[in-house]
Structure formats: structure tokens, C-alpha cells
Structure 1
């Protein structure tokens, strides 16, 4: 009987440790895909992309680009846009920045990129650090969800 109790206790302890290890999520493993910027028609532009995370949770905290000294991250809820300080990139999930939703906002453009150009952007994450992305400029009406 003692042997079964000891075995059951060891099994519970091992299972608990395994679950604790899973819940911490570990380091984020980030991949950026689907980036694009519609060709701007003024001194402002928007940027869209997907950040896939196959590791632990992280946060997008800021964005920089030589295109503008003022790049911010914007949330859209109930068709109202507002600047936010960060976006969560969930463990094992993704952050979608897409038309009609959350996005990057470039204001006071130093130049107006044209369709076919690429815009260098650096995404800053709380844990993963910086990720450089070359964002292709698409036609003004481009929307990959409608392709």
C-alpha cells in the first residue's frame, strides 16, 4: 500500500511540475508575416502585419522607422481608433494588425513612399527585443482579406 501511495505522490508531483513548466510559456518565439503599407495619399500612413508567437507571451511596446519620427500603435474598437502603449502577443497565438482593426500609424512622413517601395520598420518587444521588418508598399486600396 505504501508503495502505491508513494508512486501516486510522485506522479502528482511530476504532473504538477510539468504543468507549472507549461504555464510559464518560456521565451517568446516571434515571426512577422504579411506586412504591408498601403501607398500613402497624405503625410500619414498605416502599417499592417501579423506577429505569430510559438513561445511564451510577449508585448509589442513600440515601433520605429526612418520614414517618420512619429510611429505609434493604434487600437480600433467599435470603429473608434486610439493610441495605445502596447499590444499583447499571446503565448502560442498571434497579434493581428489589419485594416479596420489594430494597426501601426506613421505621422509626419519624411517622404511619401510609392507602390513597390519597401519601408524599414523596427518592432520593439518587451522580451524578444527588436525585430527588423521591410514593409512592402502596396496600392492604396490593397486589402489581403479581400484577395
Structure 2
């Protein structure tokens, strides 16, 4: 495993749509392990592969010792609305209010290539939306809440 440098705002990889993962290999699993290690070291609660310069559709999240790794995640259901403060490891020192869906159902692959669905609300829903946005080149500052 390795701790990667986190790419900062201004790096073009953060504004590029990440590529779908076609095959899950041991290299993919090692990358996910390194993403967790990088996220914990930062410290953060979520990380997307583009944030470490790798244009692949992979995210990791850990809230309260419940690690989640998703490959090719997509939001398949969403409802409600919540406004909350967000920050980002790629934009150090900046925080802002962002409106997100209150509930999301996300479908993706686990590290063994099995399809999984995660139903989430509140902070986990926010984190999933934030990290999936990274895969599409969207940063939280693009979604600052305006009353």
C-alpha cells in the first residue's frame, strides 16, 4: 500500500470525467487499499481516485469505522433535500454550504466485482454524492448553496 499525494484545485484531473473500470484486478484492490490509507492519513472521510491523480471511477468512504469502496458507482434513486457544510481534501481550508439530496441509493461494484446497493441518508448520502461528483469532474465549490 502507499500514501498518494492528494491533487489540489487547479489540477486538470479534478475537472475530468473519470473512466469506467472495465476489470477488477489485484492492482485495482491494491489501489483501493492505498486510497483508504491516503484518506485516513489526510485525514478525511471520503476520497475519489481522481483526487490522487488516477482517472478511474472508484471511491472510498469511511464514517465511524464502516469502510465502503465502490467501483463505477451510480446514483439510481434520490429524494429530499438537505443543506450542510462541506469541505474537500483537494481544496484545503475551504468550507461552504452545499445542497444535496437527503436520501440516495447508489449502485456499484465491490472489490470482488459483485454488484451492491447502498441506501443512505444524511452524512453518508452527502459523502456519496460528493465523491461521485469527483468522478464527473465536479467540485463542491460548483454547488455552493445560495439562499
Query: What's the TM-score, normalizing by structure 2?
Result: 0.26
More strand per residue: 1
- Larger-gyration structure (1/2): 1
